[in-house]
C-alpha cells in the first residue's frame, strides 16, 4: 500500500467499495471497516473478516445528515435535532429503517444505526462513494478498537483490500449510541459524545440500556487486551503491584498525570502516563492498551480518569476489559 496523493487514495478506496471490497478508513472515533451497505456479499465479508456473530448489527455511515431521510422510515424531531447539533460527530442514532440497506446490516432488526463521522477523509470517501457504508470498528471481534492505520494493519493485515491512512483518531473511543425510537431516547452505548451534551440538547434526561445483548461492544468482556486488566485507585496501587510482583507476575500500569504525582514508587515493569483530562485520556486509551500489551504483562493495572464527559466511556471500556472472560 504505497502512499498516494489523498485525492487518488479516495478515488481508489471508493472504487474498492463499488467493487464490493473492504476499506479500512479513519474516523474521529476509531478506524472503521467499510463495505457497501447495499451489497449482501460485501457485508458478509465484514462479518467473516472480523469473526463477528452475524446477529450483531452494523452502524451505517453516510456523508451528510440529509441522507438520514433515505435510511429511516420516519425521522422524529428529536432525531433531527440531534443530527443537526452533533453531526458530523461521534453520535450514532438508532432509527426505524426504510429497507435501504441489506438485512445483514441490521441483524434482522426493524431499526438501523446511522452516523456521519467527523473526519475529513471519511467524509470525502463517503461523498465520493455516494451511498451508505456499513462499518464496524476495524479490529477482530472482541479486541481493542484501532485508532491508527498501523493498528488496523496489525489486526487485519491482508484481509482488507485498502487502508486509508488518516492519522490518529482524535476522539479515540467509539461513538455514543442513542436509540431515538424510544421515549425518552435511550443510550445504548457510552462513547465519544458526552451524554450530558445530548441531554442538554434535548432538554430531557435520557434512559440507559448499556447491557443489551444485540450490541457486541456491550458484552461484559469486550474491548479486551490480552493481559488481565485490574482497575485500581491511586491509594491501593503500590500494595497491589507489590502483591502481584511477589508471585512472580509481570505488572504494567496505565495511569494519568495527576494520579501519578500522588503515588510513591511501585513495583511496575512498565507504565504509560496519560493526560488527566478525560477526553485526552480517551484519545490515547486504546493505543496505550495495545502498547502495554506488547510487553506481555500478566496483569495490567489501570487508574481511571474522572468519570465525567468522555471519561464515562473510558471507564465503561476499561470495566468491560476487566470483566471475567
Ligand atoms: O465509533 C463508532 O461507532 C465506530 C466507527 C467505525 O464509526 N463503529 C463501531 O462499530 O463502533 P461497531 O460495529 O464496533 O459497533 C456497533 C454498535 C454495536 O454495539 C451494535 O450492536 C450497535 O452499534 N448497533 C448497530 N445497529 C444497531 C441497532 N439497530 N440497534 C441497536 N444497536 C445497534
Ligand atoms: Mg467494535
Tens digits of residue pLDDT in 78-117: 999 999 999 999 999 999 999 999 999 999 999 999 999 9
Give the number of other Cβ atoms within 10 Å of residue 283's Cβ. Answer: 24
Say which ligand is closest to the CA of 29. 1
Residues with CB under 5 A from ligand 2 (ion): 137
Does this model's pTM top 0.85? My answer is: yes
Tens digits of residue pLDDT in 194-218: 999 999 999 999 999 998 755 555 5
The two beta strands, 133-134 and 59-61, are antiparallel
Locate 197 and state its grid cell. 451534551
Whether the pLDDT of residue 267 is over 90: the answer is no
Residues enclosing ligand 1, CB less than 6 A? Answer: 27, 29-30, 32, 56-59, 92, 94, 106, 109, 111-113, 117, 135-137, 174-175, 177, 188-189, 214-218
Whether the pLDDT of residue 265 is over 80: the answer is no
Find the 136 Cα to ligand 1 centroid distance in Å.
Answer: 6
Helix, strand, coil % over all residues of the chain, rounded to 5: 40, 20, 45
Residue bearing the CA closest to ligand 1, atom 13: 136
Cβ atoms of 144 and 223 closer than 8 Å: yes
Find the 218 Cα to ligand 2 centroid distance in Å.
Answer: 10
Residue bearing the CA closest to ligand 1, atom 24: 57
Give the number of other Cβ atoms within 10 Å of residue 51's Cβ. Answer: 11
pLDDT of amino acid 55: 85
By residue count, the chain amounts to 325
In whole angstroms, what is the distance from residue 200 CA to residue 179 CA? 16
Amino acid at each position: 500500500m504505497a502512499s498516494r496523493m489523498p485525492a487518488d487514495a479516495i478515488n481508489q478506496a471508493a472504487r474498492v467499495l463499488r467493487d464490493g471490497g473492504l476499506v479500512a478508513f479513519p474516523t474521529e472515533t476509531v478506524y472503521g471497516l467499510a463495505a457497501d451497505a447495499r451489497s449482501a456479499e460485501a457485508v458478509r465479508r465484514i462479518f467473516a473478516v472480523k469473526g463477528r456473530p452475524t446477529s450483531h448489527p452494523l452502524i451505517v455511515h453516510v456523508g451528510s445528515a440529509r441522507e438520514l431521510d433515505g435510511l429511516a422510515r420516519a425521522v422524529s424531531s428529536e432525531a433531527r435535532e440531534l443530527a443537526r447539533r452533533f453531526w458530523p460527530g461521534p453520535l450514532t442514532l438508532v432509527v426505524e429503517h426504510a429497507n435501504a440497506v441489506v438485512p445483514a446490516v441490521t441483524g434482522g432488526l426493524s431499526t438501523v444505526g446511522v452516523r456521519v463521522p467527523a473526519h475529513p477523509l471519511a467524509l470525502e470517501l463517503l461523498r465520493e462513494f455516494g451511498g451508505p457504508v456499513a462499518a464496524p470498528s476495524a479490529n477482530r471481534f472482541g479486541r481493542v478498537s484501532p485508532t491508527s492505520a498501523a493498528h488496523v494493519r496489525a489486526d487485519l493485515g491482508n484481509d482488507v483490500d485498502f487502508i486509508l491512512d488518516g492519522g490518529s483518531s482524535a476522539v479515540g473511543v467509539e461513538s455514543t449510541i442513542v436509540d431515538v425510537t424510544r421515549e425518552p431516547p435511550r443510550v445504548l452505548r457510552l462513547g465519544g459524545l458526552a451524554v450530558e451534551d445530548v441531554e442538554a440538547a434535548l432538554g430531557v434526561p435520557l434512559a440507559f440500556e448499556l447491557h443489551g445483548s444485540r450490541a457486541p461492544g456491550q458484552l461484559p468482556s469486550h474491548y479486551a487486551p490480552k493481559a488481565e486488566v485490574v482497575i485500581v485507585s491511586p491509594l491501593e496501587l503500590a500494595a497491589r503491584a507489590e502483591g502481584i510482583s511477589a508471585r512472580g507476575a509481570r505488572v504494567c500500569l496505565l495511569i494519568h498525570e495527576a494520579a501519578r504525582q500522588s503515588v510513591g514508587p511501585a513495583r511496575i515493569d512498565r507504565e504509560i502516563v496519560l493526560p488527566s483530562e478525560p477526553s485526552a485520556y480517551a484519545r490515547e486509551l486504546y493505543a496505550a492498551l495495545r502498547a502495554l500489551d506488547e510487553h506481555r504483562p500478566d496483569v495490567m493495572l489501570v487508574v481511571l480518569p474522572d468519570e465525567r464527559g468522555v471519561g464515562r466511556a473510558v471507564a465503561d471500556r476499561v470495566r468491560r476489559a476487566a470483566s471475567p472472560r
